[in-house]
Amino acid sequence: MASDQENSQDANAPDDTSEKEITRGITIMKSIIRDRDKAVTYNVNWNADNQLIGSNAAKLASYIGTLVRMHIPITATRWSNKELGSAKDKIWTEILRSFNIEDTTIRKKYILQLAGKRHRGWRTFLTNKYLKDKEKNFVEYDPEYPVKYAIFITEEEWVAFVAQRRDENFKKVSATNRERASNPTYAYKKGRLGYARLEEKILDETKSDATSLPPHVLWKEARVGKDGTVRDDVQHIYDECETLSQSISTAEDQENRSVLSRALNVPEYPGRVRGKGHGCTPTSLYKNPRRRNPSNQEVMETLQALQAQVLQLQKDNERYRCMEKCSSQLKETSEKASINCQNKFPEGISSCQLYLSSPTYRLVGKGKVHNTSGDLLHHRPLPDGHLKVSVDVVLDKDALLPIPDIVSETTLLRDAIGSFVAWPLDLIFIDDEVFAQGSQQLSQKIGSRQKNKRDLPVTSLPKKGAFVPRYQISLETLVDSSDMATAGAIRLLDMEEDIFGYSCTETIGKEDLEHIFRHQELGVGVIHTYIRFLYDNFMRGNDQLSNRFRFVSSSLVNKALICREPDSCREYLVKRFMASSTNNLYLCPYNSGCHWLLLAIDPLKEVVYFLNSIDGEWTNYPDMKQLVDTSIKVFRSQRQARVPRTKSSNITWIKVQCPLQRNGIDYGYFVMRFMREIINMNQIEIPITYFDEYKCAHYTRLQLEQIKEELCQYFIKKRLISI
C-alpha cells in the first residue's frame, strides 16, 4: 500500500514544522472543484496494460486521495466491506464529473482499487505522524486530536481509530511489516512516479515505437538512482532475466512464473505482474486470461460426459454382440428370450450369493434371483445365460456389474442396491438349503415338521440355564409349515404415513426371515419391520415419544440413491424435517452399500450424531455427509432461521462412542439396538460416550438375540406368518 506520501503533498512536511503545516493547509484540490463548476473536465490516458498515464494522471491520483478522506471513515479497516459500497459509488461519480473516463467495469475497478490504496496510505500516515515517535515506536500518551483534519475526521472517529491502532494484535502486525520493509534487498528509487509513468517516460525519451516494456526492464530502471549508477546485484538479476527470456516462451512465462520471478526466486502474487505496477494483470499483459484450475462443477461435468461416452460404447458393444448372435443362430430366439426360466434354479424368488470371475474369482454381494417365465429386465429380454437379480448387500465396493445397467447408467455393483441387474447363471449360487434338497425333499421336510410341531429335535434345544429363543423357534416352525417355506413367497407389511412421512408397503420374503434365523446380514425389509415394531410398541399412543422421535426411510436415503438421485434424497429429508416445528431426533439407518450405520439428526439444533459399529469416521462417507449437511441448510433457509455467521457453514457432527461389533455380520442388529436404546432413554441429546445404562465395549450375542426375539414375536403377533 502506498503511503500518504504517495497520495498528497502534506505527507512531505517535516515533523518539526507545524507552523508551515498550518500555513500550508490541507490539500482539497480546489482547482478541480473550480474547473468543474466551469464545466471544465480533464482527459486521462491509459497505456496498453490499462494503467493510468499522461499529464493528468498525478492530478487524478491526488484527487482520489482527497475524495477518500472526505467519504471513507478512518475507522474502516477492510476496503472490501460491503457497507462502503455507497461511499465508493459516490467517489466514482465525483471522479466522472471532473475526468473523462469511460464508465466501464474495468475502469471503475482500477479507480476504486487505487482509492483503496489511498485509504490505507491515509491511515498509515496518521499512525506514523500522531501515534508514533521519531523511532517509529508507538507513544504511551494519548495523542491529541488532529484539528487540522477536522473536516475529514470527527473526534469520535479519532478515538475509535486510536483504539484500533493500539490493539496488541495490530502492533504485532505493524512491527512485522515495518521490519520486513525496513531494509529491502532491491530498493525502489522512483518515488511517486510509479511503473506506468516510468514506462511512459522511457518510451518518450527513447522515441520507441513499442507500446510497453518487459517487466524486468522496468524493474531494473526503477532501481537506478539519480546518479544513474546500477548496483551489481540489480544488474545481475537483469542479466539473468535476459538469459531466461531467450529460453522461455511467452506461453510458458504466462502459465508459470515470469522470468523476473524466476530470477528473483520468489512466488508470483495472484492477479498481478511483478515489475509492472498497479493495474497490470496477467490478462492485460498477455492479452489472454491465465488458464485456471477447473472448478469442482467443471470436473464433475467432464466426468459425467466421459461416463456417458463409456456407457454409449457399452451400449453399442452390447448391440453389436446381440446382432452377431442373431445372425449366427438359425433357430428363433424370441421364444427363448421370453421363456427364460432355468431348471438349474428353483422357480420364483430365491436368496442368492453373487460372484465374479474377473480379475479373481470372489464373492461380491448378496441378493435375490428372480427365476420366472417371461421375466424382462427394464422391459427388455434378458441376455442369454443371464437371470434377473436384485442386489441387497455389497461385499466388494469396487466390484463392477457384469453387464452395466443402461437404464440407470450404473456400472458399479454398489450403485445397484435396491435395483435389478442381469447376472450370469454360472456366477449365481442359491444360499438356501431348501434348493439343495430339491422340491420333493422340501415337501417331505414340511410334512415332517407339521406332524411334529411340538416335538422339536433335541439338538435344537439350548443348554440348561441358557437363553431360549422361543419366538425364533416358533416363527421358524410357522414358516416351515406355511407357504413361506417355498422360495419366492412374500408377505406385505403396511407402513403408515406417520412412520416415514409417507405411506408405503414393505415386502418381507422368506430369505429375509432366514437371515434372522441364521444370524446373517440384514436387508432393508427387516430394518423397516423393526422400526414398525418400535413405533407400535413404544410410540403409538405416547405423544411424548412420538413428538420427540421420528424415522427416515432407508429406501429413500441410501448410498445407491444418493449417487443416482441426490435431489430426491435431499427433497425427502427437507420435507421430513419440515414436518415438525419442535425439536425432533430423526433416526436414519443408512446403508452405505455393504454396511449399516445409524444417523440421529437434530435439524433444529443442526447436530448429527454418528453411530458406527465398526469405529469408522463420517469422513469415510462423503456423499452421505454432503446430503445431510445440504438438507439441514435448505431446511434452515425454508424456515428462515438466523444462524451466527461463524456457524453458517458448520453442521455439528458428533461421533458417539457406541458399542462395536466383532465380526462382519452384526451391523444391522447393532443399528436396531441403537434405535431401541435411544427411544428407551427418551433423550434427544446422545452423550458422546453413549448412555451409561447401555455403555459397553461390545454387545453380547444375548443382547442381539433379544432384538431378534422382539422381531420374531412381532411377526407372530401381526399374524404375518400363519398356517
Beta bridge partners of 368: 351, 390
591 vs 581: CA distance, rounded Å: 28
Rounded to 5 degrees, what angle do the CA atoms 159, 64, 132 make? Answer: 35
702 vs 270: CA distance, rounded Å: 63
Q: What is the DSSP string of 93-118?
A: HHHHHHEE----HHHHHHHHHHHHHH
Count the residues in the chain: 723
Task: Answer whether 583's CB lies under 8 Å from 604's CB.
Answer: yes
Torsion angle of alpha carbons 406, 410, 413, 416, nearest 10°? Answer: -90
pLDDT for the residue numbered 4: 41
Residues of 132-168 as b/e, b for ≥16 C-beta within 10 angstroms?
beeeeeeeeeebebeeebeebbeeeebeebbeebeee
Beta bridge partners of 601: 586, 608
The average pLDDT across 523-544 equals 91
pLDDT for the residue numbered 165: 86
SS3 (DSSP) at 249: coil
Beta bridge partners of 611: 598
Task: Answer whether 629's CB lies under 8 Å from 651's CB.
Answer: yes
Residue 492 grid cell:
406385505
| Residue 638, CA distances (Å) to 557, 575, 577, 578, 653 in order | 20, 10, 10, 8, 21
- Amino acid at the residue 467: F
Q: What is the pTM of this model?
A: 0.42
Residues of 607-618 as b/e, b for ≥16 C-beta within 10 angstroms?
bbbbbbbeeeeb
pLDDT for the residue numbered 129: 86
255 vs 268: CA distance, rounded Å: 11
Task: Tell me 663's DSSP state.
Answer: S
pLDDT for the residue numbered 659: 93
> What's the pLDDT tens digit per position in 287-332?
555 555 677 777 777 887 787 777 777 666 665 555 554 444 433 4
Beta bridge partners of 355: 363
Task: Answer whether 481's CB lies under 8 Å from 723's CB.
Answer: yes
The dihedrals phi and psi of 305, each to the nearest 5 degrees, come to: -65, -40
Preceding peptide of 359 cis, ω within 30°: yes
pLDDT of 254 strictly over 60:
no
| Residue 303, CA distances (Å) to 280, 308, 309, 346, 563 in order | 36, 9, 10, 42, 14
Task: Answer whether 333's CB lies under 8 Å from 339's CB.
Answer: no
The average pLDDT across 590-606 equals 91
pLDDT for the residue numbered 627: 93
pLDDT for the residue numbered 292: 59
> What's the pLDDT tens digit per position in 623-670?
999 999 999 999 988 887 666 555 556 789 999 999 999 888 899 999
CB neighbours of 691 closer than 8 A, spacing ≥ 6?
Answer: 677, 681, 683
Compute CA 15 distance to the chain's CA centroid, rounded to the nearest angstrom: 55
35 vs 33: CA distance, rounded Å: 5
Task: Answer whether 459's CB lies under 8 Å from 439's CB.
Answer: no
Residues of 440-474 as b/e, b for ≥16 C-beta within 10 angstroms?
eebeeebeebeeeeeeeeeeeeeeeeeeebebbbb
> What's the pLDDT tens digit per position in 569-583?
999 999 999 887 678
Task: Answer whether 654's CB lies under 8 Å from 608's CB.
Answer: yes
> What's the pLDDT tens digit per position in 459-497?
233 343 456 788 888 888 888 877 777 766 788 888 999
15 vs 11: CA distance, rounded Å: 10
**What does the mean pLDDT of the chain come to?**
78
127 vs 124: CA distance, rounded Å: 5
Residue 313 grid cell:
460404447
| Residue 578, CA distances (Å) to 281, 552, 569, 602, 635 in order | 49, 13, 14, 12, 7
